[in-house]
Amino acid sequence: MINIAILGLGTVGGGVAEVVEKNQNEIKKSLGDNLHVKYILDIRDIPGVVKDINVIVNDPDVKVICETMGGKEPAYTYTHLALEHGISVCTSNKELVDAHGVELSEIARAHNCSYLFEASVGGGIPILRSLRESCGHEKISYIAGILNGTCNYILTNMKAGKDFNTALKEAQEKGFAERNPAADVEGHDTARKIAILASLVSGKKFSYEQVNCEGITKITQDDFVEAERNKMSIKLLGVYDAENNSVNVAPYLIPENHILYGVNDVFNGIFVKGNQIDNLMFYGRGAGKLPTASAVVSDVIECAKNIGRNVNNNFVDLPLAEVNKIPENNSGFKFRVLN
């Protein structure tokens, strides 16, 4: 039996516990052993939950920790401590991966454990492992992704005739958008995700601050009318272009014959171009309790199969990338056209 711990009993943390319980038979087939949630840490007063990270990291039975707290602190401190104790950490925390992923990955390597973050991009879509392993031999030249389900839901409803505020309110009522939706609608969430993808495939560290970023708050119904007239749709994309050495987030006009055109509602779609394999498309639920938790558990299984060894996550020894910035005087162009 492999004992694990969960840090943060929120939506994703609760989902991890649920996936482990419900899919125990499937987990055993994949891992060859059972997973057992020995500890759950949370700052709230919940029966059976611990509040002291030292209880977990000083227990030699704990082999893997799932960090599902979100934010930089205390997630960074707890992750750092766990890795120094030789305990692998799996996370859905894109903010932490973007800010400290290289550092934490190098600590994991030094202590013969692993730092994996499949769930930080694309929710339940197995994009990072696919790029790291199945496409590890490829030269990835281009990635264009619908990486934020909230924005995609809003834009899908605007295409159907609703204005931005109405679509946003509906997304909030259904739990697809936060009370303060700025990180989503201003493009910051997508920026962190495309920075992680660009770093993974390029061998250079792209940071959130380097991403040219524009959100969807200025899009109007007139824009959709014009897009429809030209047989296009509007999607918020995160784009990495190796040839131009650029990463950006912006609304794009998507031709109806492009595979991303039909990615609607809260779903994500990630279009990847390799020099030998040509075009690939990854599609699925980019957020949500169980899809994201499933991605975390997939990392737990990989770590459990490699106890005492480091799984190379392609996030070590990365020099900081130098990116081409879009000039300020070009910021008036709201849309770009996807080739």
Residues belonging to the active site: 193
**Distance (Å) of CA 103 to CA 69, 84, 97, 125, 266:** 19, 12, 9, 25, 32
Q: Are 253 and 261 in contact (CB under 8 A)?
A: no
The three-state (H, E, C) secondary structure of the chain, written as one string:
CEEEEEECCCHHHHHHHHHHHHCHHHHHHHHCCCEEEEEEECCCCCCCCECCHHHHHCCCCEEEEEECCCCCCCHHHHHHHHHHCCCEEEECCHHHHHHHHHHHHHHHHHCCCCEECHHHCCCCCCHHHHHHHHCCCCCEEEEEEECCHHHHHHHHHHHCCCCHHHHHHHHHHCCCCCCCCHHHHCCHHHHHHHHHHHHHHHCCECCHHHCEECCCCCCCHHHHHHHHHCCEEEEEEEEEECCCCEEEEEEEEEECCCHHHHCCCCEEEEEEEECCCEEEEEEEECCCHHHHHHHHHHHHHHHHHCCCCCCCCCCCCCCECCCCCCCHHHCCCCCEECC
Alpha-carbon distance of 298 to 204, in angstroms, equals 25
Q: Are strands 140-146 and 232-241 parallel, antiparallel or unpaired?
A: antiparallel
Alpha-carbon distance of 32 to 22, in angstroms, equals 16
